[in-house]
Amino acid sequence: MKIILKEIASIQVGYSFRSRLESMSAGEIAVIQMKDLTGQNRVDCDNLVRVDMENPKEHHLVRPGDLVFRSRGLVTTSAILSTDPGKAMVAAPLFRIRTTHENVVPEYLNWFINQAPAQAYLASHARGTAQQMISKEAMEALEVVVPALARQRAIVELASMAEQEQDLIKKIAEKRWQYISTMLLESTEGE
């Protein structure tokens, strides 16, 4: 079944700070920025900038299971917030996407947004010349294929295993290259 995103999730534009963020080690609020999104489409909470802010609005705060979407730039993918960063918010130009439908697994939605059909849709709706941008309205209109919960979970599990496999293949290739390089260097000394 296909459903448009705004029917199964809420989308909140990130908080627009008036000036450059200066980290305060004792700041009460952690801020998720573009630099905190990994190539594996996860939010890395290890080095979040912290700021002092009085009474942030509840709709700006994030929680585990939320997606953080890159709305500006060449890469328009989402990342999932797997860990609890405590009191944290998303900075503009990022979007916070939160599933609102009990039959949608956040990890599945994250996977779906990052697949070729969704990426093609987003690329066709990007605006701007120097800096490409996806509007909230375009994001809300994204059609999402929503299979049964069991199938969503199976897709997420298989995708995770495939990602782990790719990581292992890369590590094996690096070790093999190191071994071959060492053997070649040793062969030059044998003459």
Q: Residue 11 corresponds to which amino acid? A: I
Q: Model confidence over 92-123: pLDDT tens digits?
A: 999 999 999 999 999 999 999 999 999 999 99
User: Same domain for 127 and 188?
Assistant: no
User: Same domain for 153 and 66?
Assistant: no
Look up tokens 């009460």; give the residue.
Answer: 28
Tell me how far apart the alpha carbons of residues 27 and 29 are, in angstroms, rounded to a whole number. 6
User: Same domain for 78 and 106?
Assistant: yes
User: Same domain for 123 and 134?
Assistant: yes
User: Same domain for 77 and 103?
Assistant: yes
Tally of domains in the chain: 2
Q: Model confidence over 10-66: pLDDT tens digits?
A: 999 998 887 666 655 667 889 999 999 998 899 999 989 888 877 788 888 999 999
User: Same domain for 35 and 81?
Assistant: yes
Whether the bond between 85 and the residue before it is cis, its omega within 30 degrees of 0, is no
Q: Is 51 helix (H, G, I), strand (E, B) or coil?
A: strand
Q: Residue 114 corresponds to which amino acid? A: N
Question: Which domain does 85 fall in, by range?
Answer: 2-146
Tell me how far apart the alpha carbons of residues 35 and 125 are, in angstroms, rounded to a whole number. 24
Q: Model confidence over 124-168: pLDDT tens digits?
A: 999 987 788 999 999 999 999 999 999 999 999 999 999 999 999
pTM (2 d.p.): 0.85
Query: Strands (DSSP E) along the chain, which ranges?
Result: 2-4, 9-13, 29-32, 49-51, 67-70, 78-80, 88-90, 94-99, 143-145
Tell me how far apart the alpha carbons of residues 46 and 38 are, in angstroms, rounded to a whole number. 12
User: Same domain for 79 and 130?
Assistant: yes
